[in-house]
Amino acid sequence: MRLGVIDVGSNTVHLLVVDAQPGGHPMPDYSHKVELRLAEHLTPEGDISEEGAGLLAGFVADCVDVAESRGATELLAFATSAIRDAGNTEAVLAQVKDASGVELDILPGEQEARATFLAVRRWFGWSAGRLLMVDIGGGSLELAAGLDEEPDVAVSLPLGAGRLSRELAHDPPHAAEVKALRKRIRSEVATAHPALTKVGAPQLVAGSSKTVRSLARACGAAPRGDGLFVPRTLRRDDLAALTPRLVSMTAAQRAALPGVSTSRARQLAAGALVLEAVLDLVDIDELAVSPWALREGLILRFLDGLGR
């Protein structure tokens, strides 16, 4: 079947059209996306602004037209923390439905972590053993660990790179801002540490999301052009050397690093602080980079349901 997946994230709204069947490898057919940066369309009260909601509704309607033009027979549509945490979630969902006919599925943080864990588990396979998954989104950090396809523990924390970058008000950030943010990040990650370690030491630690991929590339991992199946890793020592550079750079300087897009450069310093905290507190020397993340996890879960 040809399946369209609309992913409403804190930074990007992305339609991915894939050819998929139960037990098969989802094969991408077409990608259509726009950087709406919904997290930046928040009012002082924490609502998504009228402009932001209008832009979202219009682009989701556009995604429906594109998916139909590509022959998609099924459509999955979901949203994460940007809408989940807004004060006017129901009103935004109603506006999207009125404009497009689409009912966005709002994923709770734990469900987001579990679906991403499934994708990472399927990518690396059973031979990976006990797995710890780290996913840094725009609005939240997802952590999950376990031996099977369903993790034994799944945690979502409000530590997304886009959300935290707003706490680094200057460009480049002031030392006091960085110090305060680092302290808060480590305090919140520490709350999840006991649950993660209780299920046993991981044989593989894997990271997903654009932030993790960008950090790995900036630390010397293979470029995207080398292909999907080239193994990519990120060493804690390399990240420890990179992070002080990132927090001392302007966003424009970060955008000149390999693998760092202009759109992601502003939030890369905050993302590095988050990943560094996880690797340090869980005592991880190396992270494998997964090309599959939440979107693929939801596709796989949908296909698994068809196969029953």
CA distance 21 to 302: 10
Residue 306, pLDDT > 90, answer no
According to CATH, what is the number of the domain 2-106?
A: 3.30.420.40
Residue by residue, DSSP assigns the chain as -EEEEEEE-SS-EEEEEEE--TTS--EEEEEEEE---GGGSB-TTSPBPHHHHHHHHHHHHHHHHHHHHTT-SEEEEEE-HHHHT-TTHHHHHHHHHHHHS---EE--HHHHHHHHHHHHHHHH-GGG-SEEEEEE-SS-EEEEEESSSS-SEEEEES--HHHHHTT--SSSPPHHHHHHHHHHHHHHHHHHHHHHHHT---SEEEEESHHHHHHHHHTTPPPGGG-TTS--EEEHHHHHHHHHHHHHS-HHHHTTSTT--HHHHHHHHHHHHHHHHHHHHTT-SEEEEPS--HHHHHHHHHHHHHT-
Count other C-beta atoms under 10 Å from residue 209's C-beta.
Answer: 25
The pLDDT of 209-232, averaged and rounded, is: 94
The pLDDT tens digits of the residues spanning 59-84 come to 999 999 999 999 999 999 999 988 99
For the entire predicted model, the pTM comes to 0.95
Q: Could you tell me the CATH superfamily of domain 123-294?
A: Exopolyphosphatase. Domain 2 (3.30.420.150)
The pLDDT of 201-213, averaged and rounded, is: 95
pLDDT at 37: 84
Domains 2-106 and 123-294 share a fold: yes
pLDDT at 307: 57
- The C-alpha R_g of the chain, in whole angstroms, comes to 19
The pLDDT of 77-98, averaged and rounded, is: 94
CA distance 214 to 248: 17
Q: With contact defined as beta carbons under 8 Å apart, do 40 and 49 qualify?
A: no
Instruction: Read off the pLDDT band of 289 (50, 70, 90).
Output: very high
CA distance 128 to 231: 14
User: Which neighbouring-strand residues pair with 288?
Assistant: 206, 233
Residue 101, pLDDT > 80, answer yes
Residue 11, pLDDT > 90, answer no
Domain boundaries in the chain? 2-106, 123-294
CA distance 141 to 131: 17
pLDDT at 5: 96
pLDDT at 308: 58
Q: Which residues contact 266 (CB under 8 A, 6 or more apart)?
A: 165, 171, 251, 254
Mean of pLDDT over the chain: 94
